[in-house]
Amino acid sequence: MTALFITATDTGVGKTLTTATLAVALRRRGLSVGVMKPVETGVVKGRPSDAGRLVQAAQVSDALDLVRPYSFRLPVAPLDAARAERRTIKISTIVQAYRKLQALHDLLLVEGAGGVHVPITSTVDVLDLIEKLKAPVLVVGRAGLGGVNHAMLTLNALRACKIPILALVLNQTVPAKTPVARRQERSTLELLRESAGVPVIGPLPYMAGVDARYDWAVGKLAASSEMKKLTKLVLASVRGTR
């Protein structure tokens, strides 16, 4: 495995945080880790971007137009964001950048946009892009109510296209403050471990105020027991052992 595509069951479930943390954890284990965000929307000058956070985590000096071939200001799906700026996203441009980065590093982490059916062009969605890149997938989901349905829909969509799935990572997107919330979280984790058919990692703990202290949160998560499990799983795949 020389590349890993990170997708999600929904937006706002911690995909960028998981990718950045994995980059730090793998770098600490001696790997040269590249990062890529093929299309990023909601990019505002002077504010932190997903691509910028990934570059910081991986400590790479790769050109930004390779790490992020397309960026748009409007925080909507890539297809609509490109239309708003009267631009066209070319999948061939993304693939070329992907190949160049892949050749520079031991492992390339590619973070998608939203979930697998988010449209990139009028004919290509994230699922189609994953097929073109021929990379196995890490799915990031929510450890809470609704997490089972969203995770299984995503996993089944990937399986229908015969795309290899490395694991499912569950994040605490909100703190489980009540007994009911904690029971819902446990239920999601237990049911998915029964039915997902892939390793289920998590939940990665909720990090309050993560935007204000991103580097600290990434460093703390990289040392967590669940991230260590994921790192071990990724390393085994990179080295060809299980």
Report, as residue numbers or ranges, the catalytic residues. Answer: 37
The greatest distance separating any two alpha carbons of the chain, rounded to the nearest whole angstrom, comes to 50
Which residue in 224, 242, 223 sits closest to 233, CA to CA?
242
Rounded-to-integer distance, Cα 118 and Cα 124, Å: 9
Q: How many CB atoms lie within 10 A of CB 208?
A: 9
Radius of gyration of the chain (CA): 17
Pair of tokens at residue 103: 């050749």
Q: Can you read off the two tokens belonging to residue 138?
A: 């890490």
Find the helix or strand (DSSP H, E) in which 188 lies.
Answer: helix 179-195
CA gap 204, 224 in Å, rounded: 8
Taking alpha carbons only, the member of 29, 63, 22 closest to residue 171 is 22
**Integer Cα distance of 230 and 201 in angstroms:** 7
Residues annotated in a binding site for substrate = 41
Binding residues for Mg(2+): 16, 50, 111
Numbered residues of the known binding site: 12-17, 41, 50, 111-114, 171-172
Amino acid present at 105: H
